[in-house]
Homo-oligomer: A and B are copies of this chain.
Amino acid sequence: MRLEELGEFGLIARIAEAVGAGHESVVVGIGDDAAVIEPAGAGHLLVTTDACLEGQHFRRQWLTAQQIGWRATAAALSDIAAMGGEALAVFVSAGLPPAEEATFAEQLICGIHEAATEHGAALAGGDTCASPDRIYLDIVVVGQAERPWLRSTAQLDDVLLVTNTLGEAAAALHLLEGGLVENADGLPPALRHRFARPTPQFAVARCLQQLSQPLCAIDISDGLVQDAAHVAEASAVALTIQASRLPVAEACREVAVQGDVDPLQWALTGGEEYELLLAVPRGLVEQACALVEAEGVKLTEIGFVAAGTGVTVLDADGNEIELDRGGWDHFASH
C-alpha cells in the first residue's frame, strides 16, 4: 500500500499503535495538538532539533529505512548527551513522497522509535507531510540535565578528552562513496555499526554528572577540529590537539592504508562521529576516566586548553599540521 492510499491519518494511527504508552514523563503523546510532558526532578530542560535530508545526510541506496530512522534520531539524541543530559521525548517531522510504500514509512518510524526507546525516551509526537521528491526528517529531542554541560565553559589548562575511537564514520563514507561496498550492510562490522547505528554517549553523560562540577562538552558531528573550534570560540580560549594522541580506530587505519589516505585527516575532520569532546579540569581527569571505564567507555587525552583563540593541531614533534579542510559547512560546495 502506498502512502497516498493509507493517508496521513492512517499513517499516524499506525505509528501511535506501534509506539504505545511510552514514558512516565509523557502525559499526552501522539494525537493531540501538542504533547504534554511533565519532567521528573528539578533539572533544566534541554531542547534540540536536527534536520536530515535525503541526498544531503543520507542516501537510500546505502541504508535501510530503519537505519535511516535510527541514524537521524541518534544524531539528535547525541546533542542531549553532549549537554550532559538524559532524553525524555523524541518528536519527528517527516516529509515523505506520497507514492512511497507505507511499509517504508513505518520502517523509518520504527528506526526512530527504536533509537528513542533504547535511550530512555518516548516517541511523543511530530508532523507528517507530502514531499514530492525527497525524504526529509527533522528530529526534535526534549531532555533534561541537572547541570547542563555548555560549550562556553572551557578553562585554561583544562585537558581535552575524547570518548572511544575516531575515524570510523569517515572510513565508512570513503568505502560507500567509492563504491567499494554497496551499502552499509556491506561495511566491515566495526564500521557498519558505527555508520548505520551510531550510539549517543548517554552513558558518559550519566557517569560524569557525578563529578564535582559540570564539564564543557560538544559532540563530534561536524568533525573534531571544527567542533573544537566551536568550543574555542564559545569559551574564548585556544584549543591545542595533539594528533599523535588521537584514538584513531583500527578499522579506520585499515581502510586508509588500502585507500592510500592519511587516517589522521579522517579522525581530525570526519563528521557524524557522535563521540564527545570534553574539556576537563586536570584534577578531575583520573576520576573521569575511572567512572566511564566502568561503563566500557575509553577516554583519551588528546590535548589541552590554552590562552588565545582557535584550534591548533600538532604532530608528535610539536609542529603544526595543515588540514585538507576544517570540517562540515552545509552551505559550502564540498
Q: Which residues in A have some Cβ–Cβ distance to B below 8 Å?
A: 3-4, 6-9, 11, 27-28, 31-39, 44-51, 53, 55-57, 79-80, 82-83, 85, 89, 91-96, 98, 124-133, 136, 138, 140-143, 145, 148, 150-152, 217-219, 234, 329-333
> Are B11 and A51 closer than 8 Å at their CB atoms?
no
* A46–B125 alpha-carbon span in the complex (Å): 11
* A225–B125 alpha-carbon span in the complex (Å): 22
Partner of A138, one of B44, B45, B93: B93
> Are A83 and B34 closer than 8 Å at their CB atoms?
yes
Partner of A55, one of B94, B132, B150: B132
Partner of A56, one of B48, B57, B83, B129: B129
Known: A4-B333, A36-B45, A49-B93. 20 other contacts (CB 8 A): A3-B331, A7-B329, A7-B332, A32-B234, A33-B219, A34-B79, A34-B141, A34-B148, A36-B44, A36-B145, A38-B44, A45-B45, A50-B93, A51-B138, A56-B132, A93-B138, A96-B331, A98-B332, A133-B133, A142-B142
**Shortest CB–CB separation between residue A136 and chain B, in angstroms?**
6
**Shortest CB–CB separation between residue A207 and chain B, in angstroms?**
18
> Are B131 and A56 closer than 8 Å at their CB atoms?
yes
Residue picked from A36, A39, A151, most chain B C-beta under 10 Å? A36
* A63–B8 alpha-carbon span in the complex (Å): 26
* A95–B35 alpha-carbon span in the complex (Å): 25
> Are A331 and B8 closer than 8 Å at their CB atoms?
yes
**Shortest CB–CB separation between residue A312 and chain B, in angstroms?**
19
Q: Which residues of B contact A98 (CB under 8 A)?
A: 331-333
Oligomeric state, in copies: 2
Q: From A38, which residue of chain B is reached at the shortest CB distance?
A: B44
* A85–B35 alpha-carbon span in the complex (Å): 12
Q: Which residues of B contact A55 (CB under 8 A)?
A: 132
Q: Which residues of B contact A38 (CB under 8 A)?
A: 44-45
* A234–B30 alpha-carbon span in the complex (Å): 11
> Are A48 and B28 closer than 8 Å at their CB atoms?
no
> Are B136 and A28 closer than 8 Å at their CB atoms?
no
> Are A49 and B332 closer than 8 Å at their CB atoms?
no
**Shortest CB–CB separation between residue A83 and chain B, in angstroms?**
5
